[in-house]
Amino acid sequence: MTFSLHAFNSGDTAFDVMAAGIEDARPHPTEAALVQLGQAMMTELLDVVGETALEDVQAILAESLIGAFHSAAGRIEREADRARDRMRVLERDFDGSELADTELQEATLKARSADVAQMAAELIRDAASELYTTQTGDVWTAWRGSRRGTHLTAAQLEAKQALRGIEARRRAEQDPGGPIVAFRAAPMADTAADANRIFDALNWAKAQWPDMALATTGAKGAEKLAIRWARQKGVKLVLAKADFERHGKAAPFRANDELLALQPACCLTLSHSLDDARADGSKPFGPALNMAQQAAAQGLRHMAIRQRPH
């Protein structure tokens, strides 16, 4: 399979423009080509594995494929961080010499190139993840000095801009950007009846807080449905995953503590399935009840998701 290579024009995406600014004789793939690559790999995997004896491990294989690009993006980001550390050292010790200027240019180019490569890996990851959700209904989520010299050269100015840019981007990624709505629900609450009421509740929350972020643990079932809603609505997601290796059986409740530490504007809970057939004989989901109790104790707004009144 071949993909068209980058050619800068006015219709390019943010990635294409960022890639075009890299001084490399080799062209970058376009964003469209990277998205196509992610979709093609996931499509091929699902087509080959589906309806075979490997179907039982389809989710593991698909999520491992997505996770591989997520891991690659993280490794590339660490390379960029090391280059930025080098940039900071060079900028701090800059003495105005040609050698220092050249070294700073090289470190800046390395960091910028790594930023583009990281974005490329994330584009492939996200394309594969979105197609996986579309095809299967499942949702993949990630685990968790002074300057010498008397004037600024072009290299110093570019370095400063690059450093400011990455710091601003990271602050934006870490900042939910608006009120947080926490959601905790039973894993078994994943029927059509549950989905309808979960989406009703989340749509209500978004009407109340248009710039809301959704906070959840990402547990299977109902919380995966909520994550799908967030992605469809373009709502920022904050994950507080339960760490069973560290906290054992207390992990779901420690995750609640993390969610509540965000001081959510509202807590939504669903302690059992709203489907009568599934709810019969089942116990309420303890962590959802715990979230409701803690929210009340802390004076936080709480709403339990219930069936529509008949």
Same domain, 159 and 45: yes
For residue 14, is pLDDT > 60? yes
In a domain, 7, yes or no: no
Same domain, 56 and 169: yes
Same domain, 120 and 193: no
Q: Where are the beta strands (DSSP E) in the chain?
A: 180-185, 213-216, 236-239, 266-270, 302-304
pLDDT of residue 241: 84
Report residue 167's pLDDT band, with 50, 70 and 90 as the boundaries. low
Pairwise CA distance, residues 290 & 240, whole Å:
15
Q: What is the mean pLDDT of residues 157-174?
A: 55
Same domain, 158 and 20: yes
In a domain, 130, yes or no: yes
Angle at 292 between CA 277 and CA 299, to 5 degrees: 155
In a domain, 210, yes or no: yes
In a domain, 89, yes or no: yes
Quote the domain boundaries for residue 89: 14-174
Same domain, 24 and 153: yes
* pLDDT digits 0-9 by tens, 138-150: 788 775 433 333 3
Pairwise CA distance, residues 219 & 227, whole Å:
10
Domain boundary among 143, 174, 205: 174
Residues 6+ apart with CB under 8 A from 255: 217, 240, 241, 242, 243, 287
Same domain, 142 and 30: yes
In a domain, 309, yes or no: no
The model scores a pTM over 0.85: no
Domain boundary among 174, 206, 237: 174
In a domain, 235, yes or no: yes
Same domain, 187 and 75: no
pLDDT of residue 133: 86
Pairwise CA distance, residues 212 & 200, whole Å:
15
CATH of the domain at 198: 3.40.50.450
Structural domain tally of the chain? 2
pLDDT of residue 12: 62
Same domain, 227 and 113: no
Domain boundary among 108, 139, 174: 174
Residues 6+ apart with CB under 8 A from 184: 216, 217, 223, 256, 259, 267, 268, 269, 270, 287, 288, 291
Same domain, 157 and 207: no
Q: Per mean pLDDT, which of 131-145, 200-214, 296-310 is the most reliable?
A: 200-214
pLDDT of residue 156: 46
Same domain, 139 and 74: yes
Same domain, 66 and 170: yes
pLDDT of residue 306: 87
In a domain, 8, yes or no: no
Same domain, 155 and 22: yes
In a domain, 125, yes or no: yes
